[in-house]
A and B are shown apart, each in its own frame.
Chain A
């Protein structure tokens, strides 16, 4: 049951993001994870209220986006959606594939409640950080 340890790492990240941006609290947290991350979504959901209690994430919604397992065949170069213990090309049947997606364990985004007077400043900071 390493999900509690992972959840605590998540809360630590949320705490530092919230502190950087002088936020009041986190409102919602989106995690992306694939089955090959080795983490069970259900166990993470159970651990979350315990790990977040008393933190800035206390009461925040946890959204877990489950990502598919997808491989590309090194032989025929085609892509397939596959199951976690059968990473075989669905087109030519070869086992020599590379994983495109399915092992992610990632904090994707967090929605923060900010103080009204700092909202403008943090919005500027956010645009610098966002993906290009």
Chain B
């Protein structure tokens, strides 16, 4: 939303702004200021900056969200292993890990020879754009195709914060139950892809019905693709890789038509970036096939 065209006036708030509405009054000696800014303006500004940084390196950034224990790290490990073994795809990955206290998840990722930056959030229940910005200072994006940002396990708070990602992927694991989209509509509405993880458990946890999960997604007017997969037995993983490849292509196409503004690093900062010009980046061999 912006302050110029009036798109920040919604059906919900326009009645307050009209003359005679609650926001129109002014008492003597006081000044009433109409603001209409998102409370998350500052975060969103940094998120935009992060996105420009990813774009200038032609990197696709994916924000992975789920409840704790839904299998985000296991999915990343399986993804890294499969992509390293697949000579057709050869996608280079880096990971930003959000965790309350430990480095456990980052260490699991590093064992596969992949760069992983740990953000210890302390008691914070979500990542925000500033934390990701700090992590980006430690991450060399040259030659990287995808950065996965593994958010803090939580189906509530992370949904409100734009990190600068290009897509949100939300995991719904089979043991959690198929009605999670109805319980956490904000999280699932933010998703660009829903992964039903631990699908190997479907035969034993037969009260989880993938079609119910999809119905609950429809109930919140959410029309995103849903993939059932298991990091354990690899079922459904090729569909996930296809989705990733399609997203990379979509982003490349977008960047061809919307070149990155080179001055994106010239914000008012208390630090400097390694300010590289936009560099040519050979597409991964797997991507050339589709062209």
Contacts and interface: CB of A to CB of B under 8 A. Distances in A.
Interface of A: 1-2, 5-6, 9-10, 12-13, 17, 21, 23, 27, 30-32, 34, 36-39, 65, 67-68, 70-71, 84-88, 95-114, 116, 119, 122-123, 126, 129-131
Contact of B8 (A6, A21, A85, A106): A106
Given A85-B185, A106-B36, A129-B34, A32 B220 contact: no
B23 interface: yes
B185 A84 contact: yes
Nearest to A130: B34
Interface residues of B, number: 49
B12 A85 contact: no
B221 A6 contact: no
7 contacts: A2-B124, A5-B124, A9-B40, A86-B220, A107-B36, A110-B33, A131-B6
B126 interface: yes
Given A1-B157, A107-B36, A109-B35, 20 more contacts: A5-B126, A32-B16, A36-B185, A37-B160, A38-B156, A65-B22, A84-B186, A85-B183, A87-B185, A104-B10, A104-B12, A104-B13, A108-B16, A108-B34, A108-B35, A112-B33, A119-B31, A126-B31, A131-B9, A131-B36
Contacts of A116: 29
B31 to A, nearest CB: 5
Determine the main DSSP class of A at the interface with B: mixed
Contacts of A98: 221
A12 B39 CA distance: 9
Given A1-B125, A129-B34, A32 B29 contact: no
Interface string B29-58: 111111111111111000000000000000
Nearest to A123: B31
B246 interface: no
B37 A70 contact: no
B12 A67 contact: yes
A10 B6 CA distance: 21
Contacts of A122: 31
B182 interface: yes
B219 A85 contact: yes
Contacts of B128: 5
Most buried by B among A101, A106, A111: A106
Nearest to B41: A13
B251 interface: no
A2 B219 contact: no
A67 B13 contact: yes
A107 B161 CA distance: 16
A12 B219 CA distance: 37
Contacts of B36: 106-109, 131
B171 to A, nearest CB: 18
A8 B6 CA distance: 26
Nearest to B186: A38
Contact of B223 (A2, A96, A112): A96
